C-alpha cells in the first residue's frame, strides 16, 4: 500500500512515520500546501518524492475549492497513491478526495474528539479550562474532525500549562498513536463499520 502524507509545517508527525521501519517503505509521496516548510526537507532527506500544491496557484476564483481538490487528486493518482495520512495538514479537502480515498484516509487531532475540533485544539482546551485533553486518530469523513475514531489517549492539563508546554506533551502522544494507526492501515488490520473503527490485533 502506497501512502501520501499531507503536511503544512514542521513535519514532526511525518518524521515519526519515516522513522518507523514498518511504515517508511509505504511512504510514496509527501504533499504540502506551502513551499519551503521543514516537512519537505524531512521528506527530501528520506528520499521521498514531494509535491507542493498551493491553493492560490490553482484556485481561480478563490471560491472554487473544487479546482484545488482536483489538483491534489491528480497528484495522488499520478503517484499511484492507495491511502492518505494527514499529518498537520491545515487545508480542507472535499468530496472528490473522500470519494477516492474514503476509509483509507487517516488524520490526527490534538484533542479528545468530539471535544475541540478545528485548527486550534490545544489553544481551545487551555482556554476552556479542561483538566484532561488528549490526542485522537480518526478516519476522515465529510465533516470537520468528525470521522470514526481509531485511537485516543488522554493527557492531563496542569494549572501552569501554557500552549508550548501542553503542545509538547500532545506531540509526544501523536508521535506514538499516529504510527500505530498507520501500521494497522498498511497491514490491512484497520476496520471501519459505520461510526466504529478499530485495529485488529495480531494473535
Catalytically active residues are: 109
DSSP string for 128-172:
HT-SEEEEEEEE--SSSS-SPEEEEEEEE--TT--HHHHHHHHHH
- Residues 151, 181: Cα–Cα separation, whole Å: 7
What is the C-alpha R_g of the chain?
16
Sheet holding 83-86, edge to edge: 50-52, 27-32, 3-7, 83-86, 105-109, 132-139, 149-156, 196-199, 190-193
Retrieve residue 186's grid coordinates: 498498511
Would you state the torsion angle of the CA atoms of residues 183, 143, 39, 170, taken in this order, to the nearest 10 degrees?
-70
For 86, the 3-state DSSP assignment is: strand
Amino acid at each position: 500500500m502506497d501512502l501520501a502524507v499531507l503536511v503544512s509545517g514542521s513535519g514532526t508527525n511525518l518524521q515519526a512515520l519515516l522513522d518507523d521501519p514498518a511504515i517508511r517503505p509505504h511512504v510514496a509521496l509527501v504533499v504540502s500546501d506551502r513551499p519551503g516548510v521543514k516537512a519537505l526537507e524531512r521528506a527530501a532527506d528520506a528520499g521521498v518524492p514531494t509535491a507542493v500544491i498551493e491553493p492560490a496557484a490553482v484556485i481561480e476564483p478563490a471560491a472554487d475549492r473544487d479546482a484545488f481538490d482536483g489538483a491534489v487528486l491528480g497528484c495522488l493518482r499520478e503517484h499511484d497513491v492507495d491511502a492518505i495520512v494527514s499529518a498537520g495538514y491545515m487545508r480542507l479537502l472535499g468530496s472528490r478526495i473522500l470519494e477516492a480515498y474514503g476509509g483509507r484516509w487517516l488524520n490526527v487531532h490534538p484533542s479528545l474528539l468530539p471535544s475541540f475540533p478545528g485548527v486550534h485544539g490545544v489553544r481551545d482546551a487551555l482556554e476552556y479550562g479542561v483538566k484532561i485533553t488528549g490526542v485522537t486518530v480518526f478516519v476522515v469523513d465529510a465533516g470537520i474532525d468528525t470521522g470514526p475514531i481509531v485511537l485516543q489517549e488522554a493527557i492531563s492539563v496542569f494549572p501552569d500549562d501554557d500552549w508550548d508546554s501542553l503542545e509538547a506533551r500532545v506531540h509526544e502522544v501523536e508521535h506514538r498513536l499516529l504510527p500505530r494507526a498507520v501500521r494497522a492501515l498498511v497491514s490491512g488490520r484497520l476496520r471501519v463499520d459505520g461510526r466504529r473503527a478499530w485495529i485488529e490485533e495480531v494473535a
